[in-house]
Structure 1
Amino acid sequence: MMSHRIEQVNELVKQEISHLLVSHLEMPLNSLVTVIDVETSRDLRHATVFISVLPISQTGTALKRLRAQIGILQFELNRKLRFKPLPRIRFVVDRTEATAAEVEEILNRSND
């Protein structure tokens, strides 16, 4: 079971990264990058940030840009969030939505 502190950290990191995506980071034109979830390790040293990108064809480009700008993001998080240790951020594409769409398509084909 996740501790209350980790839940709070997850929510704080999620909110702050969502804000920074809009205000500080350069994303591909005509794309939407959304923070879906954040999972922080028990020792608070690492946080996995799950993102969704629309259109899906921009996912690779968006992920490359996020990873290229991780230093800026980490610096801004360190400046805004005042707890120790501050987790090191890692971005992962959330595949839930794509998987759900694939399953729905398979089900629709089998019903035809």
Structure 2
Amino acid sequence: MAKYRAGRINEEVKKEISDIIRTEIKDPRLTAMISVVDVNVTKDLRYAKVYISIFANSDEEKNASFEALKNACGFIRREVGHRVNLRYAPEIIFELDNSIEHGMHIDSLLEKINK
């Protein structure tokens, strides 16, 4: 039963964080497209590690968007605490996830091999 609950909590927090980033944050530094790839909430519900993927034109834009997210961490934590009925509002820890970019790079290499 506990493993099902952990999965439900992870998905609910993921959905809410994605919605908060998309609609609530009004930071002008967030110009890139940001997608929440995965969320892992610890068993004691104190910490939530959020894996995000940022699609930007340049590395500077990507870094600025990541810094804006890190600065909005407290706001996101408060909103998650209001929206998700948990005992504790988990502390949000953002991690960059480059797996999509890595997969696109591997795909382009495979296309070159096939030609």
Q: TM-score range by the shorter chain?
A: 0.7 to 0.9
What is the DSSP-based 3-state SS (H/G/I as helix, E as strand, rest coil) of the residue aligned with 2:80?
helix
Q: Which residue of 2 aligns with 1:90?
A: 93
**Structural mapping, 1:1-112, within 5 Å:** 3-25=3-25, 26=27, 27-29=29-31, 31-55=32-56, 57=58, 58-112=61-115
Structure 1: runs of 5 or more not aligned: none
For residues 57 and 11 of structure 2, the distance between their equivalents in structure 1, rounded to whole angstroms, comes to 25
Whether the aligned pair in 1 keeps the contact of 2:81 and 2:88 (CA below 8 Å) is: no
1:49-85 Cα distance to aligned partner (Å, 9 max, x none): 1112222633212111000111111111122222113
**For this pair of structures, how many residues does the alignment match?**
110
Q: What TM-score results when the alignment is normalised by the length of structure 2?
A: 0.82
1:17-61 Cα distance to aligned partner (Å, 9 max, x none): 1111122212523x2111111111222221111112222633212
For residues 7 and 34 of structure 2, the distance between their equivalents in structure 1, rounded to whole angstroms, comes to 22
What is the one-letter code of the residue matched to 1:28? Answer: L
CA RMSD of aligned residues (A): 1.8
What is the one-letter code of the residue matched to 2:30? Answer: P
For residues 74 and 87 of structure 1, the distance between their equivalents in structure 2, rounded to whole angstroms, comes to 7
What is the DSSP-based 3-state SS (H/G/I as helix, E as strand, rest coil) of the residue aligned with 2:37?
strand
Percent identity of the aligned residues?
A: 25
Structure 2: runs of 5 or more not aligned: none
What is the one-letter code of the residue matched to 2:55? Answer: L
Question: Could you list the runs of 4 or more consecutive aligned residues of structure 1 that deviate by over 6 angstroms after TM superposition?
Answer: none
